[in-house]
Homo-oligomer: A and B are copies of this chain.
Amino acid sequence: MRPLLHPAAEDITVEALLHALADPVRVAICTGLSGPGCSLNCSSFRDIRNEPIPKSTLSQHFRILREAGLIRSERRGVEILNSSRFAEVEARFPGLLAAIVNAHRIQLAEKEASSKKRKRAD
């Protein structure tokens, strides 16, 4: 089993960040890790969607976030604790994460509003 790879802060690229954050599951993981000092294991996010996410898929999502430089993953006994590297990313690319997370938040709010409206119409 190869060791967990983390890019240095200066090797983080915009392409990798955007690719990582173009997926709603991964954005949800990031917002879940955005609390101060927040550290969660992978399987905490198994039910972040309506359907449970297979653990191999979840593992890939975490790898992509990790190698993009968005999270740091450390073994703690039998599990792996994940924490955000948002401060480092913010230092390099100011405003980027906030804008993306905010955009996803807006989209989610609109989706919920429209589904509520649909319900009223029924």
Chain A positions within 8 Å of B, measured between CB atoms, are 10, 13-15, 17-19, 21-24, 92-96, 98-100, 102-104, 106-107, 110
Contact = CB atoms under 8 A, between A and B. Distances in A.
A22 to B, nearest CB: 4
24 contacts: A14-B22, A14-B103, A14-B104, A15-B22, A18-B18, A18-B21, A18-B100, A19-B19, A19-B22, A22-B22, A92-B106, A93-B99, A93-B103, A93-B106, A94-B102, A95-B95, A95-B98, A96-B99, A96-B100, A96-B102, A96-B103, A98-B99, A99-B99, A99-B100
Given A22-B22, A93-B99, A96-B100, 17 more contacts: A10-B110, A13-B107, A14-B22, A14-B104, A15-B24, A18-B19, A18-B22, A19-B22, A92-B106, A93-B103, A93-B106, A93-B107, A94-B102, A95-B99, A96-B99, A96-B102, A98-B99
